[in-house]
């Protein structure tokens, strides 16, 4: 922009300088031609020549004046253009100054806005810090309340647990545990310690292994205090399983006593009779009979059936022979007495008569469990649960089924060659 202005000024100076030169030239005083008086012809011709020159000069002067007028007109036009340029320059300069002023104003406003923005930012920062502090304080208060609530909840839970514990403890009666060498009290009550094993349902190999391991466990814990096999209801079972239990009872350092509370039949009766010491409640029943096996359903071959019958007699001699010996009679007499007392050979006696026959050693007045006795829950005493306890859910050899009339039957799946001492019953099937 500055170069542009300098160029215009230079042109103006050049035009003004040229104009001054021409003005001086035009305004230069003209030489006056003095006319001489007429002379001779020679002088006349000379005068004529001067006149022509003067005329030419006048023409040139007129031409010069014309050119001067044209020049002045052009100069005027140029001046107008220069004036226009000057005005344009002044306008542009004024505009530039106005723009500059506007820019400065905007800059001032921007600076003002920046300052206001900075102040707002500072205010927002202050508010944010205050909000953060308030949030931290609120969070602290909430955490405090949560901890207090959690503490109160823990106290309430502890209090509830204490109440539940007290209620639960009220369901138990804690008796001081004793392990007398002679558990039969003078009043005829038998003290059964926590060293007891249930022998209910059917005597199978699975159950026999469990009982044998329990006997060994109690022996390892204490080899002197009595172990009790408690029979609520047992219909007998496998001769192999019964042999395992009898051998464990015989080899046990701690005495193993059998307690019959309801019914001990067949294999369970043999275990009761051959125990080191046995006890029975007055209304408990003991039943002896010969071993049985359904040979027709078990095998089809006659020769194999005869072999199994021979094995059956051998087992009868081994088990029932020992029972007869304890009674003080022969095996043949014992078998005769079986069928004498019952046409089907199921010799069933109550505890008092069983004691006379030496099937049990003591008829007791009652049973006292010397451990923690829990208040009974009615829901635990249902027919289905009782049947499941007799069957043993884990024992796949014994299972329940339905006959064609929808009645529950207990099935025993024998192992190959297995013989049973089990009470004959219409709802107990061996096959």
- pLDDT the model gives residue 231: 96
- pLDDT the model gives residue 113: 79
Q: Quick one: 284 and 240 in the same domain?
A: yes
Nearest by Cα to 421 from 290, 323, 295: 290
Residues 395-412: b if buried by 16+ CB within 10 A, e if exposed: bebbeeeeeeeeeeebeb
Q: Is the pLDDT of residue 300 over 60?
A: no
In a domain, 26, yes or no: no
Question: What does the alpha-carbon distance between residue 40 and residue 143 come to, in Å, rounded to a whole number?
Answer: 145
Q: Quick one: 135 and 194 in the same domain?
A: no
Q: Quick one: 145 and 250 in the same domain?
A: no
- pLDDT the model gives residue 245: 97
Q: Is the pLDDT of residue 382 over 80?
A: yes
Handedness of CA 356, 362, 367, 371 (dihedral sign): negative
Contact 430, 293 (CB under 8 A): yes
Question: Which secondary structure element, helix H or strand E, spans residue 227, and what is its range?
Answer: strand 227-238
Q: Given the DSSP bridges, would you call strands 285-288 and 347-350 parallel, antiparallel or unpaired?
A: antiparallel
Nearest by Cα to 266 from 201, 192, 173, 187: 201
- Of 42-51, 211-220, 344-353, 379-388, the one with minimum mean pLDDT is 42-51
Which whole number is the average pLDDT over 7-25?
61
Q: Quick one: 237 and 284 in the same domain?
A: yes
Question: What does the alpha-carbon distance between residue 357 and residue 369 come to, in Å, rounded to a whole number?
Answer: 28
Question: Which secondary structure element, helix H or strand E, spans residue 278, and what is its range?
Answer: strand 277-280
Task: Say what percent of the chain tops pLDDT 70.
Answer: 80
Residue 24, burial from CB neighbour count under 10 angstroms (0-12, 13-18, 19+): exposed
What pTM was computed for the model? 0.59
Q: Quick one: 207 and 333 in the same domain?
A: yes
Q: Given the DSSP bridges, would you call strands 373-374 and 172-173 parallel, antiparallel or unpaired?
A: antiparallel
Task: Please give the residue that has the higher pLDDT: either 407 or 242.
Answer: 242
The mean of the pLDDT values for the chain is: 81
- With a CB cutoff of 8 Å and minimum separation 6, the contacts of 315 are 239, 291, 419, 421
Token pair listed for 352: 């008092």
Q: Quick one: 143 and 265 in the same domain?
A: no
When pLDDT is cut at 50, 70 and 90, the band that residue 224 belongs to is very high
Per residue in 142-195, pLDDT (tens digit) is: 888 888 888 888 877 777 776 666 566 556 566 667 788 899 999 999 999 999
In a domain, 49, yes or no: no
Q: Is the pLDDT of residue 107 over 60?
A: yes
Question: What does the alpha-carbon distance between residue 25 and residue 211 come to, in Å, rounded to a whole number?
Answer: 156
Structurally, how many domains does the chain consist of? 2
Q: Is the pLDDT of residue 58 over 70?
A: yes
In a domain, 91, yes or no: no
Q: Given the DSSP bridges, would you call strands 285-288 and 277-280 parallel, antiparallel or unpaired?
A: unpaired
When pLDDT is cut at 50, 70 and 90, the band that residue 33 belongs to is very low
In a domain, 368, yes or no: yes
Nearest by Cα to 203 from 266, 295, 276, 249: 266
- pLDDT the model gives residue 273: 97
Q: Quick one: 152 and 298 in the same domain?
A: no
Q: Is 45 a residue of the active site?
A: no
Question: What does the alpha-carbon distance between residue 161 and residue 287 come to, in Å, rounded to a whole number?
Answer: 50
Nearest by Cα to 266 from 419, 412, 421, 414: 421
- With a CB cutoff of 8 Å and minimum separation 6, the contacts of 109 are none
Residue 252's CATH number: 3.90.226.10
Domain span at residue 244?
189-430
- pLDDT the model gives residue 31: 46
Q: What backbone torsions phi and psi does residue 201 show, to the nearest 5 degrees?
A: 80, -120
- pLDDT the model gives residue 271: 97
Query: How far, CA to CA in Å, does 418 sit from each of 204, 205, 345?
Result: 11, 11, 21
In a domain, 145, yes or no: yes
- How many residues comprise the chain? 431
Q: Which of 193, 238, 288, 289 is catalytic?
A: 289
In a domain, 8, yes or no: no
Q: Residue 53, CB half-sphere, CA atoms under 13 Å: how many?
A: 7
- pLDDT the model gives residue 369: 84
Per residue in 235-287, pLDDT (tens digit) is: 898 999 999 999 999 999 999 999 999 999 999 999 999 999 999 999 999 99
In a domain, 331, yes or no: yes
When pLDDT is cut at 50, 70 and 90, the band that residue 30 belongs to is very low
Q: Quick one: 228 and 357 in the same domain?
A: yes
In a domain, 28, yes or no: no
Token pair listed for 398: 């014994």
Q: Quick one: 390 and 265 in the same domain?
A: yes
When pLDDT is cut at 50, 70 and 90, the band that residue 105 belongs to is confident
- pLDDT the model gives residue 295: 42
Which whole number is the average pLDDT over 288-300?
62
A 10 A CB-CB count for 339 gives 14
Q: Is 289 a residue of the active site?
A: yes
Q: Which of 266, 330, 384, 425 is catalytic?
A: 266
Contact 355, 285 (CB under 8 A): no
Q: Is the pLDDT of residue 24 over 60?
A: no
Q: Quick one: 161 and 300 in the same domain?
A: no
Q: Quick one: 319 and 253 in the same domain?
A: yes
Q: Quick one: 203 and 352 in the same domain?
A: yes
* DSSP H stretches of helix in 222-277: 239-251, 267-273
Helix, strand, coil distribution of the chain in percent, nearest 5: 60, 15, 25
Contact 399, 405 (CB under 8 A): no
Question: Tell me, what DSSP letter sits at residue 232?
Answer: E
């Amino acid at each position: 922009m500055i170069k542009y202005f300098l160029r215009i000024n230079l042109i103006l100076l050049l035009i003004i300088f040229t104009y001054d030169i021409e003005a001086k030239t035009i305004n230069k005083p003209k030489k006056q031609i003095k006319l001489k008086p007429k002379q001779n012809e020679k002088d006349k011709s000379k005068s004529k020549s001067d006149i022509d020159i003067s005329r030419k000069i006048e023409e040139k002067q007129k031409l010069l004046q014309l050119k001067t007028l044209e020049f002045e007109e052009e100069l005027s036009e140029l001046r107008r253009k220069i004036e226009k340029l000057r005005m344009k320059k002044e306008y542009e300069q004024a505009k530039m100054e106005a723009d500059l002023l506007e820019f400065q104003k905007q800059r001032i406003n921007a600076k003002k806005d920046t300052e206001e923005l900075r102040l707002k930012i500072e205010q927002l920062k202050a508010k944010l810090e205050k909000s953060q502090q308030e949030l931290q304080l609120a969070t602290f208060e909430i955490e405090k309340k949560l901890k207090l609530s959690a503490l109160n909840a823990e106290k309430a839970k502890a209090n509830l647990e204490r109440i539940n514990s007290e209620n639960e403890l009220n369901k138990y009666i804690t008796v001081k545990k004793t392990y007398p060498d002679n558990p039969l009290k003078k009043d005829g009550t038998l003290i059964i310690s926590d060293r007891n094993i249930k022998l209910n349902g059917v005597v199978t190999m699975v159950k026999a292994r469990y009982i044998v391991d329990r006997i060994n466990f109690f022996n390892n814990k204490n080899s002197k205090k009595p172990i009790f096999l408690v029979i609520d209801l047992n219909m007998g079972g496998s001769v192999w399983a019964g042999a395992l239990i009898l051998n464990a009872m015989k080899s046990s350092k701690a005495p193993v006593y059998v307690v019959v509370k309801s019914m001990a039949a067949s294999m369970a009766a043999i275990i009761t009779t051959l125990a080191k010491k046995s006890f029975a409640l007055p209304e408990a029943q003991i039943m002896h009979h010969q071993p049985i096996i359904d040979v027709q359903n078990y095998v089809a071959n006659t020769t194999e059936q005869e072999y199994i019958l021979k094995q059956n007699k051998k087992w009868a001699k081994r088990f029932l022979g020992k029972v007869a010996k304890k009674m003080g009679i022969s095996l043949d007499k014992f078998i005769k007495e079986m069928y004498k007392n019952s046409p089907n050979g199921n010799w069933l006696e109550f505890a008092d008569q069983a004691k006379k026959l030496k099937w049990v050693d003591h008829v007791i007045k009652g049973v006292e469990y010397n451990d923690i006795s829990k208040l009974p829950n009615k829901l635990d005493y249902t027919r289905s649960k009782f049947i499941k306890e007799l069957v043993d859910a884990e024992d796949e050899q014994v299972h329940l089924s339905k006959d064609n009339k929808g009645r529950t039957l207990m099935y025993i799946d024998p192992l190959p060659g297995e013989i049973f001492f089990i009470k004959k019953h219409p709802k107990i099937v061996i096959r």
